[in-house]
Structure 1
Amino acid sequence: MGGDVDGYGDLIAAEDVLLFVNAAITATGQREFHAGAAEQQLSLSFLHAYMLGNYREPYAAALALDINDHNAALIIRGLLESAAEATAEQRRTEGRLIARRLALLPPQRVYRLFGELRRAKVNNRRTRAILREWLAARPDQTLDAVKYRAGLKQALRHAHLPAAAAETGAFLFGPAARGRFEAPLLDAWRRAHYQQSALYELPYTVAEGFARTHRIPRATFLERITPQLTRLERLRLQESARGAGVDSVRADAVELGRMPLTRLASYVLGLAPADRLARRTELTAALRTAARRAAGAEAGQWGRVAAVLDDSFSSSGSGAKRRRPLAVALACHFLLEALAGRYTGLWTSGRTDALLARPTGPTPLGRRILDALDTAPDRLLIVSDGWDNAPPGLAAEVLRVWRTRLDPDHRTSIVHLNPVYDAEGFDVRRLAPTVPTAGLRDAEDLPALVEFARFAEGRTDLTELTAHLAARTARFLAGPGSPAGRTTGANSEPGEDT
């Protein structure tokens, strides 16, 4: 009897961990199509508190997985605030995980996190050491002093640290006392207060504020600041610049192909259909280039693949995450095309031109799943928010019959990937108990999440899951790249909350 009770407890624990991982991948505390921001934040706060209080080690290990930056920052804050509750061994492992993850987070998010720790009066020795090491590893503190002036200033004060250079310290804490600065970037910031030409020597995000102060016309500003734009800024500003009559802010095909796949898909969906048609060759080539890069060594190795891709009206997302679910589906379409030996992509709308995808209509997942299974795939991937409504419940019934009667031996691997967090259910919405569901933030994470989805089939052994987390943690701490290959440079500005 005791063994059965222990086994049941392990099953519950494994399900709790999987539920949290799905939430940490998809939820950002922002409004979704079916739920408001307040609901998202309340649901997510409960999950973090529950995991920290009951499963501290898996909670920390989530930093090694493909979770989004919002939840990574929440985990780091939770671990540092509750350091007194951890054992010495836990603190050592957590310290390494935190340091590694901080190195991969966008710098503005890290400075925001340090500000939250300061306001929460978290200033123990480990926190100061982690902050000191992160600041020491920054490639250019002069750039940080200009771009993230308030954040860097607070961080140095909070940890009682000196600036890397005396001149940087003077810039942060007493710029008015210096007539000029030797560092060109610092002096450009000083001169930009009264000299318009100096602002074009600054990073775009800093120069934009000075441009408003000097009342410089938008078109003039964009034309002259173009050389300072990062690749992501150029991509984000391209259409608005063209609307202002500025053609110099343009990402060419090579630059587009270097963009992360999901960000590129978001950009494509932001273009008018006429522009997509006019640039079909360029945009398709860029998407396929990004997809091949994301596929890596697995390109062409997945055999016969079919995908059901949700472009129903709910894929429009929300004002905070505009067209995000559809962008993930579009990116998955091109990635699966690269991974497959033979690929069939089916959109819920029946549309056959992926480049012209738009959110429209109901979600007839059941019918599209039947169509996909007719192609006899080795793998079936369903990318959807799980709101099957045309007719309701058909997808679950199709999957149940297929798995229990027609394919009990699992000749066809089926995985549901859901890019939307369901605040009410504290998880991503599932289609059927017989099919594993995993949260999906970026299409680039798809291969790893398909592997991870085997733990979500309802028969997970906690020991096996713990071993998987330990292996991922070891690779994360040893490897040079991020969990999903995403890094944000010092001079980049993410265009969305990741």
Structure 2
Amino acid sequence: MNAAITSTGQREFHSGEQEQSLSLDFLHRYLLGNYRELYAATLALDVNDHNAVLIATNLLTTAAEADPARRRAEGRLIARRLALLPPPRVYGLFRALRRARVNNRRTRAIMRDWLAARPDLAFDAVKYRGAVKDVVRHAHLRPGGELGPFLFAPRGKAAYATPILETWRRAHYEQAALYRLPYTVAEGFAAKHRIARATFLDRIAPQLTRLERLRLQESARGLKADAVRADLTTMPLTRLASYVLSLSLDERAHRRTELTAALRAAARRAAGGQAGRWGSVVAVLDDSFSTYGSGHKRRRPLAVALACHFLLEALAREYTPLWLSGRSDALLVHPYGATPLGERVLDGLDRRPERLVIVSDGWDNAPPGLAGEVLRIWRTRLDPHRACAVVHLNPVYDAADFDVRRLAPTVPTAGIRDAENLVALVELARFADGRTGLPELRAHLDRRVEEFLGEDT
């Protein structure tokens, strides 16, 4: 579970892409072969999109190894998870199954039902035309209306009755039409018509999705395309934290009021009904140099720590953040220095909180192992009755250990990718400290599966 939450098979600060991919692939194959039921159940957890696709692919590829009842249960989990995934991920999964020649009846049914549930398949046909065509071929489908001719002979018709298909046709020779298409499609037409980038961004702005606006905002600002402005108060918390960290320190200081208000609004949404109910909380937050991550996942560990900071502030009645660097201004944090986790954990425990939450990649190196010793002595001698709940949330998968790196056997550790999942992960972490066993884990997963599928308990 920790691997499926944190790892994307990409390079991390302490391990390369190949090492990450091989380690993750081994885990998937091991769980699939030995604990197939539990493996499928992880689709109901907050696993990242990369691992959700891998799980679905492996289950569909090995369908012959499961009995009919198990295949039906897996099919429901896969269908529900696919409904929650971004469309490009699902189309990528379907194309991978086509390349692997996986074409059993259940796979075709999943493809058919997913396409049938799409709110606007004509829109998909324009935005993901090659993928939709591959899926239709592989699942032996016959799209109705004008979709068939559009997919397989798009330039053969003089005009389309479906508005978006006709807009796509006109965009080949009429510049005004391209501004009614999705951004990713219109961008290609803009290049074909040699439209200035600033002009294109200004006029395509109404078609941009929320995340496209966030991604393009800074480049549009440089081009003075003022129409491309993201409403930061509606952004997801971790995504917003990544955006904030992508700005220079001067820009963050200049926009302090706007950025802080947006982060706190996102944190309140993520906290929901738990806001203010966590009592006194101390957070030890890692902003050491290793939180830079890698070129593939730039500043991702630090973004998770920053998002957790604002979420814990919203969850706690009384909150104290302790950044490893000693900084007190969360908005200006940046990856720098060693990882003196032991010292900061001591500072946190000294305040006697009800909860101590550690957000770190676990590479305690100043001095090495101090945090583990502090936590061991605290749990076994100073607080054996667990008056203070300690949990370690780790955003980085350790390929060598097939898990996230832990600080101490006595402290539960859970992988985290998005701060929005923090509350659920704190509950899940209790399965990692040895006080609960497989029956409890199965019961927890059964409950999560029922909730995920929308069944009555």
TM-score normalised to structure 1 length: 0.90
Find the aligned partners of 2:131 and 2:360 in 1 and give their Cα distance: 38
Query: CA shift at 1:263, angstroms?
Result: 0.4
Give the partner amino acid of 2:353. P
Once residues 358 and 254 of structure 2 are traced to their aligned partners in structure 1, the CA distance between those partners, rounded to angstroms, is: 30
Identify which of 213, 217, 231 aligns with 1:234.
Answer: 213
Aligned residue among 363, 384, 391 for 2:360: 384
Corresponding residue of 2:7? 27
Partner of 1:221: 200
Q: Secondary structure at the match of 2:14?
A: coil
Secondary structure (helix, strand or coil) at the match of 1:89 reads: helix
C-alpha distance 292-397 of structure 1, shift in aligned 2 (>3 A): same
Q: CA deviation at 1:477?
A: 0.4
> Structure 1: which 5+ residue stretches go unaligned?
1-20, 481-498
Measure, in 2, the Cα distance between the counterparts of 1:240 and 1:373.
44
For the residue of structure 2 that corresponds to 1:431, the secondary structure is coil
Does structure 1 residue 202 correspond to structure 2 residue 178? no
C-alpha displacement at 1:213, in angstroms? Answer: 2.2
Secondary structure in structure 2 of the residue aligned to 1:33: coil
Stretches of structure 2 that go unaligned for 5 or more consecutive residues are: none
Higher relative contact order (CA 8 A, sep 6+): 1
Structure 1 residue aligned with 2:150, among 157, 168, 171? 171
SS in structure 2 opposite 1:160?
A: coil
| Match of residue 496 from structure 1 | none
1:462 counterpart residue number: 438
Match for 1:407 among 383, 386, 400? 383
C-alpha separation in 2, matches of 1:343 and 1:32: 30
- Does residue 442 of structure 1 match 2:418? yes
Give the C-alpha shift of residue 271 in structure 1.
1.2
Match of 1:249, SS state, is: coil
Aligned to 2:93: 113
Distance 1:212 1:48 in 2: 42
Q: 2:266 aligns with which of 290, 299, 304?
A: 290
Structure 1 CA distance, aligned partners of 2:190 and 2:284? 47
Quote the Cα distance in structure 1 between the aligned partners of 2:336 and 2:285. 13
Residue 180 of structure 1 and its aligned partner are, at CA, apart by 1.3
Deviation of 1:215 (Å): 2.3
Does residue 126 in structure 1 map to residue 106 in structure 2? yes
Distance (Å, rounded) in 2 between the aligned partners of 1:250 and 1:110? 29
Distance 2:455 2:356 in 1: 31
- 2:344 is aligned with what amino acid? R
Partner residue, 2:225: 246
Query: Quick one: distance in 2 between partners of 1:359 and 1:269?
Result: 10
Q: Secondary structure at the match of 1:306?
A: strand
- 2:439 and 2:13 map into 1 onto residues whose CA distance is 37
Distance, in Å, in 2 between the alignment partners of 1:118 and 1:395 is: 49
Matched with 1:91 is 71
2:341 is the alignment partner of 1:361: no
Q: Once the 2 structures are TM-superposed, how far is the Cα of residue 214 of structure 1 from its aligned partner?
A: 2.2
What secondary structure sits across from 2:155 in the alignment? helix
Distance 1:196 1:373 in 2: 63
RMSD, aligned CA: 1.1
Aligned partner of residue 284 in structure 2, secondary structure: strand
Q: Which amino acid aligns with 1:156?
A: V
Aligned length: 456
Q: Distance in 1 between matches of 2:142 and 2:13?
A: 46
Partner Cα distance (1:66, 1:297) in 2: 19
- 1: CA distance between counterparts of 2:187 and 2:91? 20
1:35-114 to structure 2, matched below 5 A, reads 35-114=15-94
Q: Distance in 2 between matches of 1:193 and 1:389?
A: 59
2:364 partner letter: D
C-alpha distance in 2 between matches for 1:257 and 1:245: 22
Question: Which moved further from structure 2: 357-366 or 214-223?
Answer: 214-223
Determine which of 311, 314, 318 is the counterpart of 1:338: 314
Question: How far is the alpha carbon of 1:201 from its aligned partner?
Answer: 1.1
Deviations along 1:262-308, whole A, 9 cap, x unmatched?
00111111111122112111111111111011001111000000000
State the secondary structure of the residue aligned to 1:459. coil
Q: TM-score, normalised by structure 2?
A: 0.98
Structure 2 distance, partners of 1:412, 1:329, is: 21
Residue 112 of structure 2 aligns to a residue in which SS?
helix
Q: How does 1:294-373 map to 2 (within 5 A)?
A: 294-373=270-349
**Hey, what does 1:9 align to over in structure 2?**
none
Q: Please tell me the residue identity of whatever aligns with 2:206.
A: P
SS of residue matched to 1:241: helix
Q: Quick check: 1:212 aligned with 2:188?
A: no
Partner of 2:451: 475
Report the alpha carbon displacement of residue 479 of structure 1 after superposing the two structures with TM. 7.2
Q: Which position in structure 2 is the counterpart of 1:418?
A: 394
Identity of aligned residues (%): 71
SS of alignment partner, residue 400 of structure 2:
coil
Q: Relative to structure 2, which stretch is displaced further, 168-177 or 99-108?
A: 168-177
Task: Return the letter of the residue paired with 2:135.
Answer: A
What is the deviation of 1:460?
A: 2.9
The C-alpha deviation readout for 1:210-246, integer Å capped at 9, x for no partner, is 2222222211111111111111111111111111222
Q: Distance in 1 between matches of 2:130 and 2:172?
A: 17
Which secondary structure state, in structure 1, belongs to the residue aligned with residue 391 of structure 2?
strand
What is the one-letter code of the residue matched to 2:158?
Answer: G
Q: Give how far 1:105 is off.
A: 0.5
Post-superposition offset of 1:92: 1.4
